[in-house]
Chains A and B, each alone.
Chain A
Amino acid sequence: MSDTNDIYQKDSIFPPPLVSGKHDFHSITETICGVVEKPFNINWLLAIGFSSTFLLMLGASIGYLFWEGTGIWGLNNPVGWGWAIVNFVFWVGIGHAGTLISAVLFLFRQKWRTAINRFAEAMTIFAVICALVFPGIHVGRVWAAYWMLPIPNQMAMWPNFRSPLLWDVFAVSTYFTVSLLFWYVGLVPDLATLRDRAKNKIAFWAYGILSLGWRGANRHWQNYERAYMLLAGLATPLVLSVHTIVSFDFAVSVIPGWHTTIFPPYFVAGAIFSGFAMVLTLAIPCRKLFGLEDFITLRHIENMNKVILVTGTLVGYAYAMEFFIAWYSGAPYEGFAFINRAFGPYWWAYLTMVSCNVISPQFFWSKRLRTNLTVTFILSIFVNIGMWFERFVITMSLHRDFLPSSWDYYTPTIFDVSLLLGSFGLFFTLFILFLKFLPAVAISEVKGVMPQADPHWEGYAQKEAH
């Protein structure tokens, strides 16, 4: 492993290479497949044990919720939407970075995406699964959950097509489907690599079936590239549309503090912000544990930190603009909602949100800090916390509604907490399983950005000369 910090001590005008160390095509395959092929190690087993304990907690909490009903949550009269929607929006938001990295950066020919797109997309899918848990369980009467979908039924009843909550169902399910297909199509060549290297029957059959008979033929690659491009094109608008529609859940209502036109862009920026933070939270320990430092280099991390700086500043701008418009509109209820947000009973949540989301990314103006792994890791966790609190702060606008006699303070119960922690259990269990059974870095794509992949690579000439 080379010391990637060296790269930044040179005053080169060229960016450092995307793959550091002395790698050729074979060593890339060996390193990445090695993660999957090595026997289970104790750290992995400990990690899966830890996360699946939380998954079990999620299952138990959901079981009790179904048995007892949503009364076990801290919901009260003005606050009819609690942590369920906070967690839903939080998880959907996390997913957006994966799609941005895999689709948008692909269309913009950002080659640095290749090292992180695979697991960022996996993160997207797992985050959307976590998000989908909450609308599914929040209905109280689970047996009526299918009412969310337009299924013909004996009641001649349809969902309300004018409701953003229905648009949400379509937006998120489309997002999940497209993300899953996109991820899977990208995986096919790498699954074939794993199949060809498989040592035991189960792995051979499993990877064999999943790789759809891939042989790396010219025609396979041609179809693959075309499918990948089309799916990237399909996924790109989803980066913007999904969180726009999620923001409509709030913005289309007429609650002061929610009914604002800034919500869609502000939510999208926040989603990408939180998603990149989560990618970093996952990438920094993973590259260390699985020896992927040569692929996920400081250049990648620095690039992601730049995205965090931009989107974090955008979010900060949105916070300021919300206050400005609340004052400028002259609407007393709007003004009250924002004053109450910052100085009311939930001042502590607002303060957490602002300090985590607006102040913490500003450290990334400094090149030294944004190339420092420890600082990046800590700040990425701050951003995750801050973005959860953002949704909490928004949802808690409900606690002081139009009628002061019904004002109340929302306090989460143990079950609110166990469902949130449990959803992290689900997320990390899926993610840890992914790391062990699928290639965490896109092998074929990383090879494509190696200098050796360039037909004009000087190495070829040297070889011939020798």
Chain B
Amino acid sequence: MSEKETPPNENWVFPKWHNKIPLIFFGVIGPVVTITAIAGVWYYFSPKFTDVGYTPEQPVPYSHRLHAGELGLDCRYCHTGVEKASSARVPPTQTCMNCHSQIKTDSPKLRLVRESWIENKPIEWVKIHKTPDYAYFEHSAHIQAGVGCESCHGRIDQMVEVGLAEPLNMGWCLDCHREPENHLRPKSEVTTMGYTDAQRTEFLATAEGKAAKESVNPPQHCSGCHR
């Protein structure tokens, strides 16, 4: 066929610029779309984005900063179950009234507490730290192992209203179950807020710290938590 002669099916085959399509698609569009999609899912679908910072309004404007931080109330004064039961327990109205029958007895902020006490009806606190039904969680085991409150709940002593500080997803649980030594402390320091890494390094060098490191073997198999 001579150069000038047009093949009958010229319109039926691809023009030359089509050779660039694979390059554009696999070299530019493909990677950009893939990377954007992965990065988007990675960030926006993660519990760090969706869950952390959840701070619902509570029926009573109870301030953890005031009670646990400034007044220095021990966590276990209210959350009595934390050392011996799976649930740390939200205190009953009676616990509030131990003090508030004497202090700030006419504060309007405490109206609901007094009503609850008189009517013998519990206050409907809003739960923030939820684990799913199929995940078994035991507070006492963690406290006995020497994991501080703040490892999961954050700086409660600085929160006026409590919000979710950590994502509480399975990967996050496993991070600690795989390397528990990063979160261990002496049992006397469990409720301490602002425990530093330097203190932890010091502790882990002591005999007690070494023993704790040896003895703490959190489960990593499925039925450890999905019982």
A residues lining the B interface (CB < 8 Å): 153-157, 195-196, 198, 204, 208, 212-215
Contacts and interface: CB of A to CB of B under 8 A. Distances in A.
Which has the most chain A C-beta neighbours within 10 Å: B14, B18, B169, B175?
A: B14
Interface residues on B, range: 10 to 19
Contacts of A196: 9, 12
Interface string B127-152: 00000000000000000000000000
Given A195-B12, A204-B12, A208-B12, A156 B175 contact: yes
Contact of A213 (B14, B47, B170, B174): B14
B171 A155 contact: yes
A36 to B, nearest CB: 17
B170 A157 contact: yes
B40 to A, nearest CB: 14
A196 B170 CA distance: 58
Nearest to B10: A215
A160 to B, nearest CB: 10
B13 A154 contact: no
A205 to B, nearest CB: 10
Contacts of B169: 154-155
Interface string B156-178: 00000000000101110011000
Interface string B87-103: 00000000000000000
Which has the most chain B C-beta neighbours within 10 Å: A155, A156, A198, A214?
A: A156
A215 B13 CA distance: 7
A214 B18 CA distance: 12
A154 B47 contact: yes
A89 to B, nearest CB: 27
B55 interface: no
A213 B174 CA distance: 53
Contacts of B13: 208, 213-215
Contacts of A214: 13
Contacts of B174: 155-156
21 contacts: A154-B45, A154-B46, A154-B47, A154-B169, A154-B170, A154-B171, A155-B170, A155-B174, A156-B170, A156-B171, A156-B174, A157-B170, A157-B171, A195-B9, A195-B12, A196-B9, A196-B12, A198-B12, A208-B14, A212-B14, A215-B13
A153 B171 CA distance: 8
B7 to A, nearest CB: 8
Given A154-B45, A155-B174, A156-B170, 17 more contacts: A153-B171, A154-B46, A154-B47, A154-B167, A154-B170, A154-B171, A156-B174, A156-B175, A157-B170, A157-B171, A196-B9, A196-B12, A208-B13, A212-B14, A213-B13, A214-B13, A215-B13
A384 to B, nearest CB: 40
Interface string B1-31: 0000000010011100010000000000000
Nearest to B7: A215
B171 A213 contact: no
A157 B47 CA distance: 15
Nearest to B13: A213
Contacts of B167: 154
Contacts of B12: 195-196, 198, 204, 208
A153 B169 CA distance: 10
Nearest to B15: A213
A215 B15 CA distance: 12
A155 B222 CA distance: 11
